[in-house]
Amino acid sequence: MKVAAWCGLIGCLIGSGLSLAQPFQLPTANRALFEACGEERFFVGTAGRPWTSGEFGCVRSGGQQFHEGLDIRCVQRDRKGESIDPVNASAAGTVAYINRKPGLSNYGNYIVLRHSVDGFEVYTLYAHLSEVRSGLKAGDRVSAGERIGTLGRTSNTRQAISKDRAHLHYEINLVVNDRYAQWHQKHLTGMRNDHGNFNGRNLLGIDPEALFREQARLGKGFDFGAFVRAQPVLARVVVRDASLIWAKRYPALVQRNPVAEREGVAGYELGLAFNGLPVRVTPRAASELKGSSRVQILEVNAAELQRRPCGKLVFKRGQSWTLQARGNDLIDLLFY
Ligand SMILES: [Zn+2]
């Protein structure tokens, strides 16, 4: 009872404007995430599965399949039972990309917004919309909480999203490389890329649920960079290449190294989260790099790999760790 009252109070505080000090707002009117035992009313699971399969992470196919966002349940329906919840920008920003051809993506109609948060270029993505607000186009500015579309169930998957499972698929992402489209053309020849730099391979997600909870816990003390740096590292990889785009894009994730500052940067050590997100990077001098191979796996956190096995970054061959195809692609793209 006490817990419920306490959670209810937090919900009220969040709804009352204290959230203005925090970078991200919930994208729909569904606030159940902050209510005691509200998860079941906040998340939509996959057909026949519990609500946890609507969370971010290794939540599908027995932990082997990655769900890169939150599936947020609708709370408003019309007389025919179709969802009509307004979908709102979760922070001020600009429209980066709109897909209004649902047949082109398993995300259906979707919109991507670009934000600047604590010095980070961050992207939020809103998918399965029944419609993107008419007139909205790439480059337009939107304010926090502004309506950008309507919650729906569009998708190009063979099995349609049923009426009762209508939801907003919501992501918070960092973008790997602005030259993704060129990289794709060169490396994935013959594979269609309808979405330019906003192809899923170029977006690395962070857990919005964990972020919302951390914001609620820390209030004004929340710092986006600190949140990213605190994510568990699954693999430490060193790459003999000084042209790490990520280090330029996200300097707040770069750790200082006096040796490299003195001798010059010859490569980078990357601390990769389970999904490949480089959460900490350290420049390395030539004198610190051992062996001659371009990429070396220094360490794999076996407990984290067991907990979150769906990233498909590394596997063990005999006694040593090797990058999987996805890991190789990611490293390649990070230095392209
Ligand atoms: Zn989803």
Ligand 1 center to 6 CA (angstroms): 30
Contact 168, 87 (CB under 8 A): yes
Ligand 1 center to 57 CA (angstroms): 11
pLDDT tens-place string over residues 49-77: 999 999 999 999 999 999 999 999 999 99
Ligand 1 center to 168 CA (angstroms): 7
Helix, strand, coil percentages for the chain (3-state, nearest 5) = 30, 30, 40
Contact 58, 206 (CB under 8 A): no
Residue whose tokens read 């919840």: 85
Give the mean pLDDT of 242-265. Answer: 96
SS3 category, 49:
coil
Position 194 confidence tier, pLDDT thresholds 50, 70, 90 = confident
Residue whose tokens read 């203005």: 20
Ligand 1 center to 29 CA (angstroms): 18
Whether pLDDT at 193 is above 80: yes
pLDDT tens-place string over residues 87-138: 999 999 999 999 999 999 999 999 999 999 999 999 999 999 999 999 999 9
Q: Count each helix (H run) and each strand (E run) in the chain, helices first.
A: 9, 18
Whether pLDDT at 19 is above 70: no
Ligand 1 center to 282 CA (angstroms): 33
The proportion of the chain whose per-residue pLDDT surpasses 70, expressed as a percent, equals 94
Ligand 1 center to 106 CA (angstroms): 10
pTM of the model: 0.91
Ligand 1 center to 279 CA (angstroms): 23
Q: What is the predicted pLDDT for the residue at 21?
A: 58
Residue whose tokens read 């925090």: 22
For the chain, give the mean pLDDT. Answer: 92
Ligand 1 center to 253 CA (angstroms): 27
Ligand 1 center to 127 CA (angstroms): 8
Whether pLDDT at 45 is above 70: yes
Q: What is the predicted pLDDT for the residue at 5?
A: 40
